[in-house]
Amino acid sequence: MNNRIKWSEAATKAFILSIVTVVYEIIGVIFPTMPGMIAGLLSLLKLVVIIIMLRKMMAKDAIDRAPLSYGGTFRYGLAVCFFSSLICSAVITLLYTVVVPEIAEQLVETTFMVLEQSNIETMLDYNELSSGIFKYILFSKFFSCIISGMIISAILAFGTKTLNSDNPFDDGE
């Protein structure tokens, strides 16, 4: 029984999973003044689609490598989410640096305007923040995607395990 993660398969499925987030971000760039309710519903739709897709991917992997425990299923879901986070953060950073760099500049200007209106003394340098904004976008998107992917994978792994074990990280070996 082979309970090792197939990294190439996880990366391929991650590419498919990341398409949902990239399309969501592109829609946000195309329609920046989208009403709040529509933006919220679109965000909820993105979350539901990602959960359903990841659930199907994890369930298929659990069936292909049965019997599999919670730990094996969780690791596979986490690998898919890790690769998807890499792809999403890279594409979104590319989107904000090449396609619509004015959005990043607006973000920096809005940040400084809010700080000035709040009378908060800041040690932030405008030029330093504006030159490093793309790094912040890359890392914040990556870590937010990986943390949410970890939580979703942990929840979904309970429903897709195929081996009953008292130890959640037992691989059934």
Query: How would you write the pLDDT of the chain (173 residues) with one tens digit per residue?
Result: 455 678 888 899 999 999 999 999 888 888 878 788 888 899 999 999 999 999 999 888 877 777 667 788 888 899 999 999 999 999 988 888 888 888 777 877 887 787 777 766 666 666 777 777 788 888 988 999 999 999 999 999 887 755 455 555 555 55
The model scores a pTM over 0.85:
no
Q: How many residues belong to the chain?
A: 173
- 163-168 LR contacts (CB < 8 Å, sep 24+): 163/66, 163/67, 163/68, 163/69, 165/69, 165/70, 167/69, 167/71, 168/69, 168/70, 168/71, 168/74
Where do the domains of the chain lie? Answer: 7-160
Phi first, then psi, for residue 106 (nearest 5°) are -65, -35
